[in-house]
Structure 1
Amino acid sequence: MSKPILSLENIYVDFERDGVISQVLDNVSLSINKGEFLSIIGHSGCGKSTLLNVVAGLVPVTLGAALLENREITGPGPERAVVFQNHSLLPWMTVYENVRLAVAKLYGAKENLSQLHDRTMRNLELVKMTHAKDKRPGEISGGMKQRVGIARALSMEPKVLLLDEPFGALDALTRGHLQDTVMELHDRIKATVLMITHDVDEAVLLADRVVMMTNGPKARIGDIVEVKSPRPRDRRELLKDAHFQDCRRRIVQFLEQHDHAVSVAEPA
């Protein structure tokens, strides 16, 4: 692996509401290498999305620092593109127009119309959506909408791609197809990816490392599992891979232990 592109150094995040302070993240430190795919998993309320939003520049840290290529993250920027569970496409625009809007915002001042068109089409081609370029979001499936959302994010040529449970609202079959798409994209363009998920199999299938968060409040990194299964990965072959199954077992065991801790802490 190459040197870290993203570093989280002793991150603390507190939220205040009506004078009450809620401590969400407690001394989280993590380094992510260029080209690495990192999954973050944990129970609801463990600060997964908060951590991703810190990297996106949407949530400020209370203490510590988030650094991208040794520069502190102080707000959103095109070098960090986010794909949420909700695709957030503009319903009155076509698939092509939704992606081109992002392209034009970043490159409109330095590229001509032909170049902007080519850039838009290249990113639609990456996610196999050129055939639906003239359709509007209401005319395509949920999985296709997420493909367009990924194309729009990739069109920014980000240094880090942030995925916040992007397949959580999809049926199992569509989810599997999109997981394969993301694996293929990662292998092809060597993107640095940080993904939030609740799905153990998804986390292990896609990631180089899986970060497991302890329960909130004051969540921390509880453990990290390194997934050494070679790429490209075939989900059917991985079912016979002892290392893959061991990674999965360790994560399930961690989640079960912390699920028990939550249950014990709750009143009867």
Structure 2
Amino acid sequence: MSKHYLSIEHVEKYFERDGVSSHVLNQINLNVERGEYISIIGHSGCGKSTVLNIVAGLTDSSSGAVILDGREVRGPGPDRSLVFQNHSLLPWLTVQENVALAVDKVFKHTKSKAERREWTLHHLELVSMGHALHKRPNEISGGMKQRVGIARALAMEPKVLLLDEPFGALDALTRAHLQDEVMRIQSELHNTVMMITHDVDEAVLLSDRIVMMTNGPSATIGEILSIDLPRPRDRIALADDPRYNAYRHAVLSFLHEKQRKVEPLARRTAATPAPGAQRARA
């Protein structure tokens, strides 16, 4: 049994469609310690979301295993909360009711009604949404909706918080503010976090380690970069920090190298006529 808090061990994933098998993930191995913030980055189609969904228990691996706190993951569970790029709030419920729905589901038999209400309010305050308890999703901004989604996930008291590009649909200023909020919350709660991102600066700012994926098909972990920057982190101060810029350069170099390998293949594929194309022109 793994000694690490979260272990992804020899995970492979194949998808079958119309009798054709596609090898999506090839030998994914990753150990995560309690309280670590891990970012997964890579080009589109490299299987980042598939890795996250396997950890969440939403997708089965074709082989291999995910071990969390000594137990194998065999399906979804409240020990893993997932926050999507889309906030996924129920539009007919208020902010408070959206979070309370999850709290009541998880803590129905362990907390009293009053305790569950206090727990809900505490987590909404944690993300600075205590002022909007009785508003519905269509009455608040995109950034506020995402705060509620994060509050709902945290209120389930998960062992691992899974973030699937949680700031990707937000404007730059809102995204920066929410990144700072997530850093503050993690410093308070010491959550174990696994996040997918396409944003290099976001990955360096938030992470303890950055997992860089190779291109698909048969994507795997190409490199893992440890980010040795003291916390709390100040984005303004880090802008001129040579270590920050070295980490940023390392990730960009990895992604650029993978892109260079994709583009010639794409050009060759585009230049190759489809079966029967020459006969059609004749």
Q: Give the TM-score, by structure 2 length.
A: 0.93
Tell me if 1:50 matches 2:75.
no
**What are the ranges of 5 or more consecutive residues in structure 1 without an aligned counterpart?**
none
1-structure distance, mates of 2:57, 2:73: 6
1-structure distance, mates of 2:243, 2:222: 20
Q: Secondary structure at the match of 2:5?
A: strand
1-structure distance, mates of 2:182, 2:117: 23
1-structure distance, mates of 2:252, 2:244: 12
Q: Secondary structure at the match of 1:8?
A: strand
Superposed CA offset, 1:203-246 (max 9, x none): 00000000000000000100011100100000001112111111
- Structure 2 counterpart of 1:108: 108
1-structure distance, mates of 2:8, 2:63: 11
Q: Secondary structure at the match of 1:44?
A: coil
| Distance apart, 1:4 and its partner CA | 2.2
- Structure 1 counterpart of 2:128: 128
| Distance apart, 1:115 and its partner CA | 0.8
2-structure distance, mates of 1:70, 1:9: 13
- Structure 2 counterpart of 1:220: 220
1:243 maps to a residue whose letter is: R
Superposed CA offset, 1:79-120 (max 9, x none): 000000010000000000000010111112232221111000
Q: Secondary structure at the match of 1:4?
A: coil
2-structure distance, mates of 1:147, 1:196: 17
Q: Secondary structure at the match of 2:82?
A: strand
1-structure distance, mates of 2:70, 2:199: 31
Superposed CA offset, 1:107-166 (max 9, x none): 122322211110000110110100001100000000000000000000100000000000
Superposed CA offset, 1:146-200 (max 9, x none): 0000000001000000000001111001000000010001111000000000000
2-structure distance, mates of 1:160, 1:190: 10
2-structure distance, mates of 1:214, 1:37: 20
2-structure distance, mates of 1:181, 1:53: 24
Which deviates more, 78-87 or 102-111?
102-111
2-structure distance, mates of 1:125, 1:200: 29
| Distance apart, 1:71 and its partner CA | 1.3
- Structure 2 counterpart of 1:61: 61
- Structure 2 counterpart of 1:83: 83
2-structure distance, mates of 1:255, 1:192: 25
Structure 1 residues 225-244: aligned runs within 5 Å: 225-244=225-244
- Structure 2 counterpart of 1:138: 138
2-structure distance, mates of 1:5, 1:148: 27
1:31 maps to a residue whose letter is: N
Q: Secondary structure at the match of 1:211?
A: strand
Q: Secondary structure at the match of 2:248?
A: helix
**What are the ranges of 5 or more consecutive residues in structure 2 without an aligned counterpart?**
271-282
| Distance apart, 1:259 and its partner CA | 0.7
1:8 maps to a residue whose letter is: I
**Structure 1 residue ranges, 4+ long, deviating more than 6 angstroms after superposition:** none
Identity %: 59
- Structure 1 counterpart of 2:184: 184
Q: Give the TM-score, by structure 1 length.
A: 0.98
- Structure 1 counterpart of 2:147: 147
2-structure distance, mates of 1:33, 1:111: 29
2:223 maps to a residue whose letter is: D
Bigger CA radius of gyration: 2
1-structure distance, mates of 2:238, 2:248: 11
